[in-house]
Amino acid sequence: MADKDELPGIVLTEAQKKRQRERSIAIALALGVLVILFFAVTIVRGPGVLVRPM
């Protein structure tokens, strides 16, 4: 049976939603840069990508 008196939970204000969206976009961009970086270095290093001075 569904509970009709469900708690509303945490309701974000418009300002909080906006900031949250901005932070999410920033994280997505940072992860995108990381992926591109790993891809580019793999291309640059070629087959020897894991061979490097310790």
Partner 1 sequence: MSIVENHTLTLSPRISEAGVADYIALLKPRVMSLVIFTALVGMVIAPGYFHPVLAFTSILCIAVGAGASGALNMWYDADIDALMSRTANRPIPAGRVTPQEALAFGLTLSFFSVMTLGILVNWVAGGLLAFTIFFYAVVYTMWLKRFTAQNIVIGGAAGALPPVVAWAAATGSLAVEPVLLFLIIFFWTPPHFWALALFRTDDYARANVPMLPVVAGPDATRLQILLYTVVLVAVAAAPWPMGYFDAAYGLSSLALGGGMLLLAIKVYRNRTGARALRAARQLFGFSILYLFALFAILLLEVVVKAAAPLLW
Q: How far is the CB of 15 from partner 1 (least distance, A)?
A: 6
Tokens found for residue 17: 């939603």
Tokens found for residue 5: 């008196």
Can you tell me the distance from the alpha carbon of 48 to that of 46, in angstroms, rounded to the nearest whole number? 5
First to last CA, the chain: 62
x-or-dash string of contact with partner 1, 17-46, rule CB under 8 A: --xx-xx--x-------x--xx-xx--x--
Q: Which residues bind partner 1 (CB under 8 A)?
A: 7, 10, 12, 15-16, 19-20, 22-23, 26, 34, 37-38, 40-41, 44, 52-54
